[in-house]
């Protein structure tokens, strides 16, 4: 009798785990990725340009339209590359872009690392969040000519509920969050 009860609990646990694994959205299905990465410079600064693609899939759009804030965190690192020696970190930037929808005003509020914008069209708001143009990474005075450098970029997409009670419940389902791999660009200055 005791062995049968234990066996039933084990079967129930296996079924629960299988359902959880197969019914939760896969991070690979979202597939957010970095594209069109360009490293350029002005007369004073090294600039980074890139796009974050596939960050507004149907689930993310539904969450946005239902009042959840969507946050895109961007990590940008610049290293000087040494052969047979550990690379040296020269610059580190963390940027936050967020978007939320106000159903009463029928407007999208976008925060680009402290710069606040408003949009009526969802496509323009999403473009503002996911297109990164001309981010100053480091001043050129800190770079040595004819050396090898590596720019690393990573993006993390998160959904944030507006209510603190709901925040706890959502935090249990971290599978809603998604991130890119480190995108690396090597260049010689």
pLDDT in tens, the chain (189 residues): 555 555 565 565 555 544 454 444 444 445 789 999 999 999 999 999 999 998 888 888 888 888 889 999 999 999 999 988 898 999 999 999 999 999 899 999 999 988 999 999 999 999 999 999 999 999 999 999 999 999 999 999 887 755 555 555 554 554 456 777 888 999 988
Question: How many Å apart are CA 52 and CA 86, to the nearest integer?
Answer: 29
**Per the domain annotation, does 22 fall within a domain?**
no
**Per the domain annotation, does 37 fall within a domain?**
yes
**Per the domain annotation, does 20 fall within a domain?**
no
**Per the domain annotation, does 132 fall within a domain?**
yes
Q: Which domain holds residue 175?
A: 27-188
First and final CA of the chain: distance in angstroms?
75
**Cβ–Cβ contacts within 10 Å for residue 66, how many?**
12
User: What pLDDT was estimated at residue 91?
Assistant: 95
Question: How many Å apart are CA 92 and CA 76, to the nearest integer?
Answer: 6
User: What pLDDT was estimated at residue 24?
Assistant: 47
Helix (H), strand (E), coil (C) string for the chain: CHHHHHHHHHHHHHHHHHHHHHHCCCHHHHCCEEEEEEEEECCCEEEEEEEEECCCCHHHHHHHHCCCEEEEEEEEEEEECCCCCCCEEEEEEEEEEEEEEECCCCEEEEEECCEEEEECCHHHHHHHHHEEEEEEEEEHHHCCCCCEEEEEEEEEEEEECCCHHHHHHHHCCHHHCEECCCEEEEEEC
**Per the domain annotation, does 117 fall within a domain?**
yes
**Is-contact 32 178, C-beta < 8 A?**
yes
Question: How many Å apart are CA 53 and CA 140, to the nearest integer?
Answer: 29
**Per the domain annotation, does 169 fall within a domain?**
yes
pTM for this entry: 0.72
**Per the domain annotation, does 12 fall within a domain?**
no
Residue with tokens 């970190």: 89
**Per the domain annotation, does 91 fall within a domain?**
yes
The total number of structural domains that make up the chain: 1
């Amino acid at each position: 009798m005791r062995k049968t009860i234990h066996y039933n609990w084990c079967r129930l646990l296996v079924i629960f785990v299988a359902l959880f694994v197969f019914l939760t959205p896969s991070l690979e299905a979202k597939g957010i990725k970095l594209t069109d990465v360009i490293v350029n410079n002005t007369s004073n600064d090294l600039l980074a340009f890139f796009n974050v693609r596939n960050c507004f899939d149907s689930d993310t759009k539904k969450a946005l339209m239902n009042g959840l804030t969507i946050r895109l965190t961007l990590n940008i690192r610049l290293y000087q590359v040494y052969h047979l020696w550990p690379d040296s970190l020269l610059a580190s930037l963390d940027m936050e872009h967020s978007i939320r929808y106000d159903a009463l005003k029928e407007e999208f509020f976008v925060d680009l690392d402290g710069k606040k914008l408003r949009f009526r069209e969802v496509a323009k708001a999403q473009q503002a969040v996911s297109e990164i143009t001309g981010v100053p990474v480091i001043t050129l005075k800190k770079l040595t000519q004819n050396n090898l450098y590596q720019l690393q970029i990573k993006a993390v997409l998160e959904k944030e509920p507006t209510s603190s009670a709901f925040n706890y419940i959502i935090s249990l389902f971290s599978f809603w969050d998604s991130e890119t791999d480190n995108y690396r660009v090597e260049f010689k200055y």
